[in-house]
């Protein structure tokens, strides 16, 4: 039997999404008492879904494609135009293999080492500072180390500009016009820089090691044996390191958790049963970063009695799935230990997308993210001591991405020697 799909009262929900942010999808699902509902987003009829089974169908390539799914403003800022996010089928697999080839265990260790070295250098500076804005500092630490990791020739005089560009791109989604403009400008400037580097590598004027993303993307060939189009190569290269900036938000949320649940500090220090990993996973589940993903149905099909029409935009609620009460006990509580005996479903825990890394669109940087977060949480609890002065640590669920309003200030930093 065909079931009618519940609809939102409002005809078009774009403004509600911008105004309510991370709360929009979960609150409409609650109101309509349904894990599936229909509305319009940017004027297009859209189906919003959440939960483990919803994620399983969303990441089944038989039913969905990405071409034409991402909204134009996102391509101008966060994602870039013509890159991996919007590709399908063999074309996607070909590109995805390239990204995953950058993420060998050795290269992940390299990134962790570079990031911790940079963090340690920064911590020495923090010792002399009255107040440290942790979010901004971690962003710079990650930007410096990841550009080094990616094989980019970064001059000291350029660090500030390139870091700000990466931050502006990542901070640009969520509907603020000011942040959109900054993100679009940043992308233009950053891509122009990358196009120059890619050309230099192709002309052998600049030769980074062959295992770096800069070299791999510059020399990557299409199945027809040609170099990637220069514009697309710049987008792809950027996709191979920019996203680690997102981890800065999560690292700061982790610092917030350490502050709000004081028992976490000793547990992280002892690190029994790899507690720091459980902690990093719970930070990724509990705190908001990526709200949702969009795809287009590539055929008519019936899902749980609901008819999905070919071409329909379908939005998967990532944050709501991570907090879904059917999937998680006490879903709205911060409990790292829940991951100790977690069975590891690829569809119930989707902070960086779901499904399979190779076959689908699941994030290529997930292992790097977890490794870096885990090592930063250990560093913050074992290698330095600090105070958290009075400040506004609340975070606005309507802002996407969001962060503690104070950007997390620490003081009295001392390295433990
Ligand atoms: C895809 C989130 C870190 C590279 C994605 C997707 C999300 C995401 C939601 C889309 C999944 C989909 O299309 O269904 C995040 C978050 C991160 C993070 C929250 C950190 C907190 C990274 C890092 C890298 C990276 C560190 C690389 C160094 C990519 C790439 C894709 C992707 C290349 C496209 C995969 C594809 O379309 O096949 N990420 N990511 N991400 N991410 Fe990440």
176-199 per-position pLDDT tens digit: 999 999 999 999 999 999 999 999
**What is residue 69's predicted lDDT score, i.e. its pLDDT?**
95
263-305 per-position pLDDT tens digit: 999 999 999 999 999 999 999 999 999 999 999 999 999 999 9
Residue 212 domain flag? yes
Averaged pLDDT, 383-399? 98
User: What predicted TM-score, i.e. pTM, was given to this entire model?
Assistant: 0.97
Residue 2 domain flag? no
* Total domain count, the chain: 1
Residue 5 domain flag? no
CATH number of the structural domain spanning residue 68: 1.10.630.10
Residue 148 domain flag? yes
pLDDT at 223 over 90: no
Residue of 67, 352, 373 with the most ligand 1 atoms within 8 Å of its CB, for mutation: 352
Residue 138 domain flag? yes
Judge residue 2's burial from the number of C-beta atoms within 10 Å of its C-beta, 0-12 exposed, 13-18 middle, 19 or more buried: exposed
Q: If you measure from the C-alpha of residue 80 to the centroid of ligand 1, how many angstroms do you get, rounded to a whole number?
A: 13
Q: How far is it, in rounded angstroms, from Cα 379 to Cα 387? A: 15
Q: How confident is the model at residue 39 (pLDDT cuts 50, 70, 90)?
A: very high
- Cβ contact 260:282 at 8 Å: no
Residue 1 domain flag? no
The mean predicted confidence, pLDDT, of the chain is 96
**What is residue 365's predicted lDDT score, i.e. its pLDDT?**
98
**Number of the ligand 1 atom closest to the C-alpha atom of 66:** 13
**Number of the ligand 1 atom closest to the C-alpha atom of 244:** 26
199: number of CA atoms within 13 Å, CB side? 8
Q: If you measure from the C-alpha of residue 411 to the centroid of ligand 1, how many angstroms do you get, rounded to a whole number?
A: 33
56-73 per-position pLDDT tens digit: 999 999 999 999 999 899
**What is residue 1's predicted lDDT score, i.e. its pLDDT?**
66
Residue 152 domain flag? yes
Is the complex ipTM higher than 0.85? yes
Averaged pLDDT, 134-154? 98
Q: If you measure from the C-alpha of residue 366 to the centroid of ligand 1, how many angstroms do you get, rounded to a whole number?
A: 7
Residue 8 domain flag? no
Domain of residue 368 covers 14-415
């Amino acid at each position: 039997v065909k079931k009618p799909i519940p609809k939102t009262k409002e005809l078009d929900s774009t403004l509600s999404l911008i105004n309510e942010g991370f709360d929009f999808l979960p609150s409409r699902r609650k109101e309509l008492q349904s894990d599936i509902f229909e509305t319009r987003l940017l004027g297009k009829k859209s189906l919003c879904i959440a939960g483990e089974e919803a994620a399983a169908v969303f990441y089944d390539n038989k039913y969905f494609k990405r071409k034409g799914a991402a909204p134009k403003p996102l391509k101008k800022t966060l994602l870039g135009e013509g890159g991996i996010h919007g590709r399908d089928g063999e074309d996607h697999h070909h590109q995805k293999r390239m990204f995953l080839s950058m993420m060998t265990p050795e290269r992940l260790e390299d990134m962790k080492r570079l990031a911790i070295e940079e963090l340690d250098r920064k911590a020495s500076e923090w010792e002399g500072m009255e107040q440290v804005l942790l979010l901004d500092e971690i962003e710079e630490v990650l930007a410096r180390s990841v550009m080094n990791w990616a094989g980019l020739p970064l001059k000291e005089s350029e660090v500030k500009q390139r870091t700000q560009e990466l931050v502006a791109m990542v901070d640009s989604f969520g509907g603020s016009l000011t942040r959109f403009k900054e993100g679009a400008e940043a992308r233009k400037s950053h891509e122009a820089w990358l196009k120059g580097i890619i050309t230099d590598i192709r002309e052998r004027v600049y030769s980074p090691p062959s295992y770096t993303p800069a070299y791999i993307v510059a020399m990557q060939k299409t199945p027809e044996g040609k170099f990637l189009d220069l514009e697309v190569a710049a987008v792809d290269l950027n996709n191979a390191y920019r996203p680690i900036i997102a981890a800065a938000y999560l690292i700061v949320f982790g610092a917030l958790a350490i502050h709000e649940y004081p028992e976490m500090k000793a547990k992280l220090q002892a690190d029994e049963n790899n507690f720091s990993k459980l902690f990093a996973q719970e930070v990724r589940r509990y705190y908001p970063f990526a709200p949702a993903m969009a795809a287009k149905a590539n055929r008519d099909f019936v899902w749980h009695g609901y008819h999905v029409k070919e071409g329909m935009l379908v939005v998967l609620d990532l944050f709501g799935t991570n907090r879904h009460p059917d999937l998680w006990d006490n879903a709205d509580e911060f409990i790292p230990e829940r991951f100790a005996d977690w069975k590891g479903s690829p569809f119930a825990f989707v902070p960086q997308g779901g499904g399979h890394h190779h076959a689908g669109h699941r994030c290529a940087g997930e292992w790097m993210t977890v490794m870096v977060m885990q090592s930063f949480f250990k560093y913050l609890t074992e290698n330095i001591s600090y105070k958290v002065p009075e400040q506004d640590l609340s975070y606005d669920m309507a802002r996407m991405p969001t962060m503690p309003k104070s950007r997390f200030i620490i003081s009295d930093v001392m390295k433990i020697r």
